[in-house]
Amino acid sequence: MATLIRKARVADSASILELVNALAKKEVMLPRSPASVIENLRDFIVIEEDGQFLGCAALHIVWSDHAEIRSIAVKDHAQGRGLGKQMAEFLITEAKSLGIARVIAFTYVPGFFERLKFERVEHASLPHKVFGDCLNCPKFHACDEIAMRLVLSDEAEIHLRGPLSVPLSALPSPRSAGAAL
Ligand SMILES: CC(C)(COP(=O)(O)OP(=O)(O)OC[C@H]1O[C@@H](n2cnc3c(N)ncnc32)[C@H](O)[C@@H]1OP(=O)(O)O)[C@@H](O)C(=O)NCCC(=O)NCCS
């Protein structure tokens, strides 16, 4: 059987949501909303066999030196065949090619990530920026996921300069923005 890992397409979003949210009901991972899947679709890869969707995973850049593996999931009947590992390795290679120094994951299955040479770390040892999306998490006040980290290089954080947000007054008016198109 031919196994293929590829970037996700819009047509995969329903399969991704169905798989992740079915597993979330079993409380083995966090749920995703349709908006969070479709808005972040470019983070996602899928794994398929003979064209049949078997799993998904996402790599989300959280800061200049951190990317997070999220929503890694394999259909029940295909688990334990190395598909999860293949997807994680694909995303780790992608992180390397982007020049990202550290890959992290928050998980209930630390053993899976340990097989990939991740180590357990204290939540408090990670930079605050990696917790930005936690505000939207149903477990925000009682996070019980284990933080894991894989160090790919010693590259330090690249300090980005600029305002934290752009004041509305700095934006072009709709009329002048339209004129520029
Ligand atoms: C976790 C999950 C993605 C792993 O995918 P998989 O295809 O079943 O795992 P693989 O066959 O690739 O396993 C790779 C290695 O990890 C180990 N492993 C897999 N699941 C494990 C687990 N739950 N605990 C400990 N080790 C695990 C395997 O034994 C294997 O070890 P090996 O390299 O020595 O052979 C999959 O089981 C799954 O979808 N689980 C439910 C959702 C979930 O928990 N996702 C993680 C959210 S962060």
For residue 180, being part of any structural domain is answered with: no
Please give the order of strands across the beta sheet that includes 44-49: 3-7, 44-49, 52-63, 66-74, 102-107, 146-151, 119-121
Q: Is 85 in the pocket of ligand 1 (CB under 6 A)?
A: yes
pLDDT of the chain, 181 residues: tens digit per residue = 789 999 999 999 999 999 999 999 998 998 999 999 999 999 999 999 999 999 999 999 999 999 999 999 999 999 999 999 999 999 999 999 999 999 999 999 999 999 999 999 999 888 777 787 777 777 767 778 899 999 999 888 888 888 777 777 777 776 665 555 5
For residue 127, being part of any structural domain is answered with: yes
User: What's residue 178's pLDDT?
Assistant: 58
Domain tally, the chain? 1
Strand partners for 53: 48
**For residue 151, what is the domain's CATH number?**
3.40.630.30
Ligand 1, atom 39: closest residue by C-alpha: 73
Q: Is 89 in the pocket of ligand 1 (CB under 6 A)?
A: no
For residue 133, being part of any structural domain is answered with: yes
Ligand 1, atom 23: closest residue by C-alpha: 109
For residue 170, being part of any structural domain is answered with: no
Distance 180 CA to ligand 1 centre (A): 51
Ligand 1, atom 17: closest residue by C-alpha: 112
User: What's residue 85's pLDDT?
Assistant: 98
For residue 89, being part of any structural domain is answered with: yes
User: What's residue 157's pLDDT?
Assistant: 82
For residue 126, being part of any structural domain is answered with: yes
User: What's residue 81's pLDDT?
Assistant: 97
Q: Is 72 in the pocket of ligand 1 (CB under 6 A)?
A: yes
Contact present, 62 and 132 (Cβ < 8 Å): yes
Distance 110 CA to ligand 1 centre (A): 9
Place of tokens 């049949």: 52
Candidate of 15, 68, 112 to mutate for ligand 1, largest count of ligand atoms within 8 Å of Cβ: 112
Strand partners for 103: 67, 150
User: What's residue 53's pLDDT?
Assistant: 98
For residue 178, being part of any structural domain is answered with: no
User: What's residue 55's pLDDT?
Assistant: 98
Residue 132 belongs to domain spanning: 3-160
User: What's residue 169's pLDDT?
Assistant: 79
Distance 113 CA to ligand 1 centre (A): 8
